[in-house]
């Protein structure tokens, strides 16, 4: 997403898709709902995403003003990510998209709104 979609009509809906679309961004935004989470925790909760892509997606979300990155200068480095105020305004939309997506879902393989994977 993002540069990829050059949005020839400057359509506001396409613009929104460009902000939140893609394979990982909805999952990241949902995971940040409860509060700030550090990089390593995201990486372990979402094992299928490579660290490079995780970094990149988080950076895009930060550049787009949807999340805030805070770096704590500690002995082993610590970086926390959290939703910005603007990011929080996406929640009603994500919830509506969630509800619609659930309707379209194969009931056999149902996901969850906040699909927490048990940590090792």
- The residue count for binding DNA (CB under 7 A) is 30
Q: Which of residues 6-45 bind DNA (CB under 7 A)?
A: 6, 22-24, 38-40
Q: What letter does residue 10 receive in the DSSP assignment?
A: -
State the Cα–Cα distance between residues 85 and 65, nearest whole angstrom.
9
SS3 state at 36: coil
Dihedral (C-alpha) 101, 41, 117, 58: value to the nearest 10 degrees? 20
Site string for DNA, 62-91 (x = CB under 7 A): -------x-x---xxxxx------------
> Which residues of this protein are in contact with its own copies, per CB under 8 A?
5-17, 19-23, 26-27, 30, 46, 48, 89-90, 92-94, 96-105, 109-111, 113, 115
């Amino acid at each position: 997403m993002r540069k990829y979609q050059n949005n020839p009509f400057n359509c506001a809906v396409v613009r929104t898709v460009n902000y939140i679309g893609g394979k990982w961004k909805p999952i990241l935004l949902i995971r940040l709902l409860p509060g700030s989470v550090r990089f390593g925790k995201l990486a372990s909760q979402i094992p299928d995403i490579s660290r490079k892509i995780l970094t990149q997606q988080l950076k895009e979300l930060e550049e787009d003003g949807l999340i805030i990155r805070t770096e704590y200068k500690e002995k082993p480095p610590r970086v926390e990510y959290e939703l910005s105020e603007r990011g929080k305004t996406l929640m009603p939309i994500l919830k509506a998209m969630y509800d619609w997506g659930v309707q379209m879902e194969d009931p056999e393989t149902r996901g969850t709104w906040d699909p927490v994977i048990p940590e090792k």
